[in-house]
Amino acid sequence: MTTIQHPIDARLKQLIKNRTPMRGLFNGLASPALVEMSAFAGYDFTIIDNEHGSASLETTEHMLRAARAAGMPALVRCLEHDIARTLDAGATGLQIPMVRNAAHAQAVVNKVRYPRASSFKGLSGERGVAYSVRAAGYGALGGAACNAYGNDNVVLVVMIESMEAVNAAAEIAAVDGVDAVFIGPNDLAHSMGHENRFYESEVQAAIEKAVRAVASTGKCAGVLALTPEDEARYASWGASYFANVITSVLTKALKDAASAGRSSEVSVLSY
């Protein structure tokens, strides 16, 4: 008898809850093959980036399939108006940008959760119910148990990217239904007047403040970590959920391959 694999990878919830150190990739490239390659390379998770990426909803669904087939949990970073359809496509988790405060985080939680699913400790929820979608196995997994499974196992990561949010980090993290809080350093730096220079000491101090505040609540803190040194520094502050960017990884690998054995004067990019 065939065992049906649920589209939602329930392992991610427990890893996040346990604050298990995890290394993943933001992927804004519309390619299921790159999702598989990331899994085969040994990354713990991927974040399909539909805030800044080019994938359609149809391609996003294929990327989610690729992740599930390869055994790697996949979240989707999406804007709030895309929450319902992204969840119906079978995302294991969502990463929602630009959350400002605890009230905003609560509003996002309500959009992610089904109403009246008793296993989710009474939170009401506003997510619309449909069993014809991938998240419900196109009807094969539908019903009240499907709602409860989604409420219990879909991961919600909210992003804080302003000083308003940094100052409210502990309150945001403490909201029931928020599983992790991710500090977005680039937008944070811009909001502080440092443009893209997120290694400036003032920005790093704000990141440290936010990470420590989130960790103090017992919730998982995440941050962009472009190098092992970044990862070690943020881990020392209490972070455990680290993400690099697939285009940065690929561009560096391609540049190294293109320039190997050549003069540094070859292929200079200018604009």
Residue 79 lies in a domain: yes
| Residue 120 pLDDT greater than 60, yes or no | no
- Using CB atoms within 10 Å of the CB of residue 23, give its burial: 0 to 12 exposed, 13 to 18 middle, 19+ buried: middle
Q: How many domains does the chain have?
A: 1
**How far apart, in whole angstroms, are the C-alpha atoms of residue 230 and residue 241?**
12
Residue-number span of the structural domain to which 161 is assigned: 11-248
Active-site residue list: 52
Concatenate the DSSP letters of all residues of 122-161 into one string.
T----PPP-SSSGGGGGGTT-SHHHHHHHHHH-EEEEEE-
pTM: 0.93
Query: Residue range 193-208: average pLDDT?
Result: 97
175: which DSSP letter? Answer: S
Q: Which residues pair with 222 in a beta bridge?
A: 182, 241
DSSP secondary structure letter of residue 95: E
| 181 within domain boundaries | yes
pLDDT of residue 80: 98
pLDDT over 80 at 147, yes or no: yes
Asked whether residue 211 is domain-assigned, the answer is yes
Segment 206-218 shows an average pLDDT of: 98
Interval 39-79: pLDDT, tens: 999 999 999 999 999 999 999 999 999 999 999 999 999 99
| pLDDT computed for residue 262 by the predictor | 86
Query: Within a domain: residue 264?
Result: no
Say what percent of the chain tops pLDDT 70: 94
Q: What is the DSSP string of 201-240?
A: HHHHHHHHHHHHHHHHTT-EEEEE--SHHHHHHHHHHT--
Give domain status of residue 204, yes or no.
yes
pLDDT, the chain, mean = 94
What tens digit of pLDDT does each residue of 163-188 get?
Answer: 999 999 999 999 999 999 999 999 99
Q: Residue range 247-264: average pLDDT? A: 91
Give the model confidence (pLDDT) of 83-99 as tens digits.
999 999 999 999 999 99
pLDDT digits (tens, 9 = 90+) for 225-235: 999 999 999 99
CATH number (domain holding residue 37): 3.20.20.60
Does any domain span residue 155? Answer: yes
Q: Is residue 1 part of a domain?
A: no
C-beta of residue 168 within 8 angstroms of C-beta of residue 101 = yes
- Residue 116: is its pLDDT beyond 80? no
